[in-house]
Each structure stands twice: as structure tokens, then as C-alpha cells.
């Protein structure tokens, strides 16, 4: 699987890129024998849409001063970001094979000191979002015109620091800040449901959207797996008057039937048999190199 040079991919091409990214994600976790799967798979379609159609970026010039900034606040989903960045041309796709190795640039959480193209290190929940607020404030202070985007998990919104940042962003009228909320409604360590195999969603119904609205944000909702619909939502909020929260409804473990909506697959390594099933469901044919060789 090699990096794609596509000026403006259409929806079918974006869907294929997302499929290939999912294959790379599953393979990388299996190869590393560790990492997260559920959250990365729920975020893949949105990351693909962002990196190919929304963000103003130059993969061959990752530190371009006028680039849009992107912060993966739910940093444990780093493998999804790496897979999309590799396909986009930031680094060789073959490097995904090094994920989580001690000397790799592709650590379990994004490290801005190791990998060009990472705008802030993240991992401790809520801190990435707070950093994104700071980046947006700094841009306002110097008159920079780039937009800062952040992806935040719904379970991550349990952190008080998220709401402190939301309050500050509204007070400073940060119309250059757009947050995508990966609302997959499932977290690894949450409230137990009717049995030990169930988890109560961190936010139900309209709770998540309502809370962001209560902090004065412009809030829109959409399907995080319908790339065409997601792009429409993202394009519709570009000129919003104030900070924007996009509540994207997703499925944890999206694309692999036995992982979908199963909290144990938040962080679990597939067996050889499970890997074969996953790759088959993702359209990986025997002999394909979707997560291995390439440039």
C-alpha cells in the first residue's frame, strides 16, 4: 500500500482510502501485539475526510507556517492518525510496521518531537483539547488565519479540563476552532450496564450536544461514517461565529463485525484467526499488501 497523490478525491475514493486505512490499523496493532482498535476504527472515516478534503496542509512541508493545525486529543487512537497520514504522504506507509516499537516515530500516543506533522503531543485525556484551545488563542493574538481542529472522544468529555477549555474558548470568541467529537458511545472504563459485558454510554440521547451548547458553542450533529454527509457538515461550519463542536455519531470498532460496539475491543490484540476474519471483512484479499510494503 503506497501513499496516494490525489488532488481532490471524490467520495468513492475517500471511502476506499478509509477502507485501506482500517486494514493498515488492524495489521499494525496485530504486528505490534498491543495498542487500541475500537477508537481508531470509529475515527477513520472522519480523519480521512479531514486530511484529504478539509485541512489546509502540505504533507511534503509538514511545518508550513500557514497550515491548519490538527490535534488528536484522544491520543490513544494514534494508529488511525498514522495510517491516514501515511496514505496522505507524510511518511512511508511501510513505516506503519514500526508502530509502538521503542525506537519508532510512531508511538502509542502522538509525539510532536518525534514525528513531523504532529502539532501537539497528546494522550492524557483532555490535555490535547486544552492545547488546541491554546493554539487557537495564539493564532488570534498574532493575526494568523489558519484554523485549529481537534478530535475529542465522548468518554474524554468526562474530564473537567475539557469543560474548562470549552468555557475559555467561548469567552475568547475562538471562531478559528472546530472540535470533532467522536461520539461512539462506548468507553473501556465506564459505568457498568446490566451485566459485566455491558457499558452505559458516557452520554446518552442529546446530552453531549446539549452540554456543548450550554457552554455557548455552535453545535451541529452528523454521521461520522457517512463521508459525504460529514464533509457537508464540516464545510457548513467554516464561517461560524464562534467555536464549533461537531457531534459525530460513530460506532466503536467500525468495519469489523465482532469488534463493533464491544467495549473489550477498545484495547485488545486480535488472534491470527481473528485477524484473518477482520481483514476479510475489510475487503483484504489474500496477497494484498494494504498494511505492509510500499512507500
| Cβ atoms 32, 102 nearer than 8 A | no
pLDDT digits (tens, 9 = 90+) for 202-255: 899 999 999 999 999 999 999 999 999 999 999 999 999 999 999 999 999 999
In a domain, 141, yes or no: yes
Euclidean distance between CA atoms 275 and 9, whole angstroms: 29
Span 59-80, average pLDDT = 97
- What's the N-to-C CA distance of the chain in angstroms? 8
State CA 183 to chain mean position distance.
11
In a domain, 73, yes or no: yes
Q: Which domain holds residue 256?
A: 11-281
CATH value at residue 272:
3.40.50.970
In a domain, 50, yes or no: yes
Domain count, the chain: 1
What pLDDT shows up at residue 200?
A: 87
Length of the chain: 295
In a domain, 4, yes or no: no
What pLDDT shows up at residue 167?
A: 98
In a domain, 3, yes or no: no
Euclidean distance between CA atoms 241 and 239, whole angstroms: 6
pTM of the predicted structure, to 2 decimals: 0.93
Residue 153 φ then ψ, to 5°: -80, 155
Amino acid at each position: 500500500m503506497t501513499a496516494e497523490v490525489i488532488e481532490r478525491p471524490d467520495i468513492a475514493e475517500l471511502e476506499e482510502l478509509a477502507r485501506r486505512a482500517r486494514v493498515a490499523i488492524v495489521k499494525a496493532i496485530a504486528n505490534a501485539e498491543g495498542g487500541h482498535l475500537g477508537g481508531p476504527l470509529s475515527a477513520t472515516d472522519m480523519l480521512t475526510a479531514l486530511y484529504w478534503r478539509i485541512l489546509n496542509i502540505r504533507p511534503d512541508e509538514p511545518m508550513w507556517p500557514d497550515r491548519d493545525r490538527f490535534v488528536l486529543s484522544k491520543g490513544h487512537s494514534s494508529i488511525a492518525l498514522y495510517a491516514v497520514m501515511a496514505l496522505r504522504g507524510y511518511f512511508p506507509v511501510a513505516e506503519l510496521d514500526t508502530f509502538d516499537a521503542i525506537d519508532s516515530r510512531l508511538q502509542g500516543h502522538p509525539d510532536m518531537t518525534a514525528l513531523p506533522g504532529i502539532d501537539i503531543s497528546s494522550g492524557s485525556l483532555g490535555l490535547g483539547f486544552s492545547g488546541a484551545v491554546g493554539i487557537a488563542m495564539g493564532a488570534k493574538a498574532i493575526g494568523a488565519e489558519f484554523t485549529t481542529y481537534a478530535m475529542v472522544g465522548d468518554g474524554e468529555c468526562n474530564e473537567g479540563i475539557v469543560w474548562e477549555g470549552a468555557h475559555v474558548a467561548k469567552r475568547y470568541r475562538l471562531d478559528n476552532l472546530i472540535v470533532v467529537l467522536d461520539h461512539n458511545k462506548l468507553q473501556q472504563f465506564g459505568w457498568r450496564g446490566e451485566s459485566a459485558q455491558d457499558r452505559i454510554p458516557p452520554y446518552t440521547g442529546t446530552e453531549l450536544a446539549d452540554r456543548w451548547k450550554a457552554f455557548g458553542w455552535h453545535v451541529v450533529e452528523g454521521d461520522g461514517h457517512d463521508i459525504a454527509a460529514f464533509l457537508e457538515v464540516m464545510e457548513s461550519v467554516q464561517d461560524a461565529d464562534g467555536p464549533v463542536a461537531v457531534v459525530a455519531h460513530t460506532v466503536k470498532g467500525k468495519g469489523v463485525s465482532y469488534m463493533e460496539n464491544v467495549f473489550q475491543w477498545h484495547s485488545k490484540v486480535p488472534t491470527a484467526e481473528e485477524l484473518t476474519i477482520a481483514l476479510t471483512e475489510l475487503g483484504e484479499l489474500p496477497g494484498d499488501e494494504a498494511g505492509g510494503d510500499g512507500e
